[in-house]
Amino acid sequence: MNILFIGDIVGDRAVAELCAWLPGFRAERRIDLIVANAENCAPNGLGMAGPQVDRLLAAGVDVITGGNHSWDSDESVELLELPQVLRPLNIGAHIPGRGLLHVGTPLGEVTVINLADHAAMRSVKAIEDTFRPAFGAWREAERRGVVLVDYHGDHVLEKQIFARAVDGAATAVLGTHSHEATIPLHVLPGGTGFVTEVGMTGPSDGMQGFAYDILVKGLHETGNPFAHGIPPVSGGPLVLGAVLLRTEGRRTVGIERLTWGAGR
């Protein structure tokens, strides 16, 4: 099975370019499943927006995952009710949405699980006091077929420990959240593919897809980079942060990092 996983999509330009690129790439590389983290796909880069989510699904994205920005938009509750849209599993069951999805493909079933660490989620008021450890949620999850985990987290070591703990039980653990892609692509001894950070799909002329000048100004003037508010989505060439997994049975047998070269 060939599975394409796309890291945090930032802003509308990235959505548009991705949607233009995906159908041809899917046919060319015979992709069986596409999963994308789209918690930053809104035009301002904060949360999800209906038109962007609709375009991603229409372009062939099968499952959308999220993280701490899943609740930023006024549309968040409505969008989290869509069957293809996930938010982290390891929060209270009464919070709208779901953190796990079983997806059928011609080559078998895939379980997609969205998890997050506390450092990434601590600022989210919508889930205050409902967060629980990711590994506990993993142990309780109903897993069938190929098992793919989007681990949305700040801590490199925590992601690495989790991946080792589920080696042989998860087909792949793919890190998101920091937007800065890590170089190593691991296939662990038990057959679990692991990437600490898949990276960002978005504009390159900034920091994590956002303009840096307002942050630098805030730091110089007040010591607080966010003193002047949240910066807008940056400009510059678009970059792709994604990996292509090749699986046999429930094991990963190959990982390829995908880029758009110098950007688009």
Sign of CA dihedral 108, 96, 128, 72: positive
Under DSSP, is residue 192 helix (H, G, I), strand (E, B) or coil?
coil
Which residues pair with residue 116 across a beta bridge? 152
* Backbone phi and psi for residue 2, each to the nearest 5 degrees, phi listed first: -110, 120
Q: What's the mean pLDDT in 110-126?
A: 82
* Backbone phi and psi for residue 56, each to the nearest 5 degrees, phi listed first: -65, -45
pLDDT tens figures, 34-70: 999 999 999 999 999 999 999 999 999 999 999 988 9
pLDDT tens figures, 60-97: 999 999 998 898 888 999 999 999 999 999 988 888 89
Give dist(CA 75, CA 252) in Å, integer.
Answer: 36
Q: Provide the pLDDT confidence category of residue 131 given band limits of 50, 70 and 90.
A: confident
The answer to whether the CB of 47 falls within 8 A of the CB of 73 is yes
| Residue 236: Cβ-neighbour burial (10 angstroms; 0-12, 13-18, 19+) | middle
The answer to whether the CB of 35 falls within 8 A of the CB of 65 is yes
Select the CATH number that applies to the domain covering 2-201+240-258 from these four: 3.10.110.10, 3.40.228.10, 3.60.21.10, 3.30.70.890.
3.60.21.10
Q: Residue 262: is its pLDDT beyond 60?
A: no
Identify the pLDDT of residue 117: 84
**C-beta neighbour count of 208 within 10 angstroms:** 17
Start-to-end CA distance of the chain, whole Å, equals 28
Give dist(CA 172, CA 252) in Å, integer.
Answer: 7
